Amino acid sequence: MEQSVLFYCLMCNKLKTMEQANLLFRTGFYKVLHPLGCCVSCDRQSK
């Protein structure tokens, strides 16, 4: 299977590029294509 260049941010509910990822989960996939995680900007806002 081809590696996705996008992930789904659970905080802002948007697809983002991997360069914007702060945290990625190993389990669970959004529409079976994109890993779930949290982007850098959402992580900064939550602290």
From the first residue on, what is the mean pLDDT of each consecutive set of 10 residues in the chain (47 residues)? 78 95 77 84 90
DSSP strand pairing (14-17 vs 21-30)? unpaired
**What pLDDT is attached to residue 1?**
45
16: buried, middle or exposed (CB in 10 Å: 19+, 13-18, 0-12)? buried
pTM, two decimals, is 0.78
**What pLDDT is attached to residue 46?**
85
| Closest to 27 in 3D by CA, of 36, 18, 38 | 36
- What residues does each domain of the chain span? 6-46
